[in-house]
Amino acid sequence: MGYEDFYRRSIEQPEEFWAEAARAIDWKDQPQRILDYDNPPFRRWFVGGTTNLCHNAVDRHLAERGDQPALVGWSTETGQVRELSFRQLHREVNTFAAVLRSLGVHKGERVVIYMPHTVEAAVAMLACARIGAIHSVVFGGFAALNLALRIDDARPAVLVCADAGMRGGKVIPFKPLVDEALSRAGHPPAHVLVVNRGLAGEVPMQEGRDVEYGPLAAQHADAEVPVEWLESNEPSYILYTSGTTGKPKGVQRDVGGYAVALALSMWSVYDVRAGQAMFSTSDIGWVVGHSYNVYGPLIAGATSILYEGLPTNPDPGIWWRICEKYGVRTMFSSPTAVRVLKKQDPKWLDSADLSQLKYLFLAGEPLDEPTADWITNALGKTVIDNYWQTETGWPVLTLMPGVELKPVKLGSPGLPSPGYRLRVIDENTGADVGPGEKGVLAIQPPLPPGCLSTVWGNDDRFIASYFSHFKELLYSSLDWAIRDEDGYTFILGRTDDVINVAGHRLGTREIEESVASHPDVAEAAVVGVHDEVKGQVPVVFATLKRTDTDPAGAASGMLQTVASQLGAVARPQRVYVVNALPKTRSGKLLRRSLQALAEHRDPGDLSTLDDPNALEEVKRALERGADAGT
Residues 143 and 278 in one domain: yes
Beta-sheet pairing, 158-162 with 191-195? parallel
User: Rounded to whole angstroms, what are the CA distances from 28 to 52, 63, 286, 318?
Assistant: 9, 18, 30, 42
The residue among 443, 463, 485 that closes a domain is 443
User: Rounded to whole angstroms, what are the CA distances from 330 to 1, 77, 246, 351, 379?
Assistant: 22, 24, 36, 18, 13
The residue among 443, 471, 486 that closes a domain is 443
Give the global pTM. Answer: 0.84
Residues 439 and 506 in one domain: no
Is the residue at 331 inside a domain?
no
Q: How confident is the model at residue 419 (pLDDT cuts 50, 70, 90)?
A: very high
Is the residue at 450 inside a domain?
no
Is the residue at 286 inside a domain?
yes
CATH of residue 251: 3.40.50.12780
**Tell me, what's the pLDDT at 513?**
79
Is the residue at 50 inside a domain?
yes
Residues 433 and 506 in one domain: no
Residues 399 and 541 in one domain: no
Is the residue at 457 inside a domain?
no
Decide if pLDDT at 630 tops 90: no
Residues 136 and 40 in one domain: yes
Residues 438 and 508 in one domain: no
CATH of residue 617: 3.30.300.30
Residues 427 and 512 in one domain: no
Residues 60 and 197 in one domain: yes
Is the residue at 84 inside a domain?
yes
Mean pLDDT of 514-532: 88
Residues 417 and 561 in one domain: no
Mean pLDDT of 53-57: 98
**Tell me, what's the pLDDT at 585?**
60
Q: Which of 142-151, 417-426, 455-464 has the lowest mean pLDDT?
A: 142-151
Is the residue at 367 inside a domain?
no
Decide if pLDDT at 403 tops 90: yes
Q: How confident is the model at residue 99 (pLDDT cuts 50, 70, 90)?
A: very high
Q: How many CB atoms lie within 10 A of CB 125?
A: 29
Is the residue at 610 inside a domain?
yes
Number of domains in the chain: 2
Mean pLDDT of 561-567: 88
Q: How confident is the model at residue 467 (pLDDT cuts 50, 70, 90)?
A: very high
Mean pLDDT of 518-525: 88
Residue type, 444: Q
Residues 57 and 178 in one domain: yes
Mean pLDDT of 347-366: 90
Report pLDDT digits (tens) over 582-624.
876 656 678 878 888 888 888 876 655 667 788 888 888 898 8
Report pLDDT digits (tens) over 71-97.
999 999 999 999 999 999 999 999 999
Residues 68 and 137 in one domain: yes
Mean residue pLDDT of the chain comes to 92
Residues 541 and 396 in one domain: no
In this structure, the dihedral spanned by the alpha carbons of residues 102, 105, 107 and 113, taken in order and rounded to 10 degrees, is -120
Phi-psi region of 444 (alpha: psi -120 to 50; beta: other; left: phi over 0): beta
Rounded to 5 degrees, what angle do the CA atoms 591, 592, 595 make?
Answer: 85
Domain containing 201 equals 3-309+386-443
The residue among 402, 419, 443 that closes a domain is 443
